[in-house]
């Protein structure tokens, strides 16, 4: 039976600095207006050579003085407010210069492909070429963003296509969109994968008692900025959940963008609950119920839904990195995975420059319109999912 109470995830954290700036600007405007209202017209007139004397300063009423004093006191108080948080100047994250997306076809169509290219414009595989770690200490990792937060299109790295572009998943001939299970809208986080990782379907994990799902490791990035498809984010690991999806282990690594204002305060999974209360609970619920509107049962979790800590997550990442290494070097049967890559010298599937012409040139096409039903809310009860279509 599902819980009757549902925690809301606040999508946009309050920006105090931005609000303080706005208030201070209004106060400055108030002072200017008050000064103009209290100044005689003669003082506002342009000076001339025939002007013989300067008018005396105007007397101010007691109410004007009190209002001015209050405004000045508020302004002084606001000027002492904390200013350590960086100003938010844009709604979307910046793209590191090392990699960028090359989009072909229109989003929300079966033709859409998002390839990744390096800074020289050479196409690379987001599965096999982008390094897992972004620094020598292996404390910062590269994450491939597949699905931006709050969006519904089920985009994923294509395992069976040349250089593994990101495309929209298709099921029974239809493009897949995740349902909105009240009170959630689309994905709760920037969702994607770690490059050079593989959940080996030939290995049963000793604690989950289930085999790997044959995919790269899934990643949930919980920072405040909305990413974009094909973005390479640099993140640090906080923890991991173990979803049991159709008798397979489907790890969900919890991370945060290292450039996020909250990143210095989040170093392990308990910090997430301290600074973002309710997010882990909402994450658990989202994965548990998101398939119910499509007629499937709710998903289950290993460890009773507990989110394991950073140390445990890092061990899972290392295991999946080792599994990928066995895969790309030919020590493990690929099982339908396209292993074409351009950087791994030990790989028998490394391709040369002449084969990269198979990747089409980029196109700047607007997204195709999507059906309005994608925005419906589904209300989950013990008996299943009910959409607003059936509410009379």
CA 353 from centroid of its chain's CA atoms: 33
CATH number of 100-365: 3.90.80.10
47 or 317, which is more confident?
A: 317
Q: How confident is the model at residue 388 (pLDDT cuts 50, 70, 90)?
A: low
The helix/strand/coil state of 254 is: strand
Question: Angle 328-331-336 (CA atoms, 0-180°, nearest 5)?
Answer: 60
Q: Where are the domains of the chain?
A: 100-365
254 Cβ partners below 8 Å, 6+ apart?
A: 220, 222, 237, 238, 239, 240, 241, 269, 272, 280, 283, 307, 313
Answer whether residue 392 shows pLDDT above 50: no
Q: What is the pLDDT of residues 211-250, one digit of tens each?
A: 999 999 999 999 999 999 999 999 999 999 999 988 899 9
Q: For the residues 313-338, what does the mean pLDDT come to?
A: 96
Please state the rounded mean pLDDT for residues 288-301: 94
User: Which 8-state DSSP code applies to residue 189?
Assistant: S
pTM over 0.85? The answer is no
Mean pLDDT score across all residues of the chain: 82
Q: What is the pLDDT of residues 146-168, one digit of tens each?
A: 999 999 999 999 999 999 999 99
Q: What residues contact residue 52 under an 8 Å CB cut-off, 6+ apart?
A: none
Q: Is 121 helix (H, G, I), strand (E, B) or coil?
A: coil
Q: What are phi and psi of 177, to 5 degrees?
A: -130, 135
Residues 289, 281: Cα–Cα separation, whole Å: 12
pLDDT band at 383; cut points 50, 70, 90:
low
Mean pLDDT across 46-71: 44
Which has the minimum average pLDDT: 293-297, 346-350, 387-391?
Answer: 387-391
75 contacts: CB under 8 Å, gap ≥ 6: 24, 27
- The residues with which 16 forms a beta bridge, in sequence order, are none
- Say what percent of the chain tops pLDDT 70: 73
Please give the pLDDT value at position 389.
61
Average pLDDT for 260-284: 98
Q: What does 137-171 look like in DSSP terms, one character per residue? A: TS-SEEEEEEE-TT--B-EEE-SSSTT--EEE-EE
Residue of 241 and 37 predicted with greater confidence: 241
């Amino acid at each position: 039976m599902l819980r009757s109470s549902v925690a809301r995830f606040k999508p946009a954290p309050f920006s105090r600095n931005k609000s303080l700036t706005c208030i201070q600007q209004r106060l400055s405007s108030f002072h200017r207006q008050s000064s103009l209202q209290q100044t005689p017209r003669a003082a506002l007139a342009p000076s001339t050579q025939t002007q013989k004397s300067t008018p005396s300063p105007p007397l101010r009423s007691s109410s004007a003085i009190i209002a001015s004093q209050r405004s000045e006191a508020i302004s002084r108080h606001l000027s002492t407010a904390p200013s350590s948080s960086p100003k938010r100047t844009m709604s979307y994250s910046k793209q590191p210069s090392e990699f960028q997306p090359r989009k072909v076809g229109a989003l929300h169509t079966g033709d859409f492909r998002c390839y990744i290219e390096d800074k020289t414009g050479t196409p690379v595989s987001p599965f096999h070429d982008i390094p897992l770690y972004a620094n020598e200490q292996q404390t910062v990792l590269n994450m491939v963003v597949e699905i931006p937060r709050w969006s519904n299109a089920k985009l994923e790295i294509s395992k069976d296509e040349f250089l593994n572009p990101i495309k929209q998943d298709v099921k029974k001939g239809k493009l897949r969109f995740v349902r909105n299970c009240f009170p959630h809208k689309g994905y709760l986080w920037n969702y994607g994968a770690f490059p050079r990782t593989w959940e080996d379907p030939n290995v049963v994990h000793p604690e989950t008692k289930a085999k790997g799902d044959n995919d790269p490791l899934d990643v949930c990035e919980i920072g405040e900025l909305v990413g974009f498809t094909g973005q390479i984010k640099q993140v640090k690991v906080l923890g991991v959940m173990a979803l049991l999806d159709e008798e397979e282990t489907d790890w969900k690594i919890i991370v945060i963008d290292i450039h996020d204002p909250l990143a210095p305060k989040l170093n392990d999974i308990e910090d997430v609950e301290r600074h973002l209360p309710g997010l882990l609970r909402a994450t658990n619920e989202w994965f548990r119920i998101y398939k119910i509107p499509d007629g499937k049962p709710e998903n289950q979790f290993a460890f009773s839904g507990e989110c394991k800590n950073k140390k445990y997550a890092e061990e899972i990442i290392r295991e999946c990195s080792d599994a990928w290494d066995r895969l790309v070097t030919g020590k493990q049967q690929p099982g339908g995975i396209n292993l074409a890559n351009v950087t791994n010298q030990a790989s028998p599937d490394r391709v040369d420059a002449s084969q990269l012409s198979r990747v089409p040139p980029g196109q700047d096409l607007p997204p195709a319109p999507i059906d309005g039903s994608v925005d419906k809310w589904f209300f989950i009860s013990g008996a299943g999912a009910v959409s607003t279509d059936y509410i009379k």
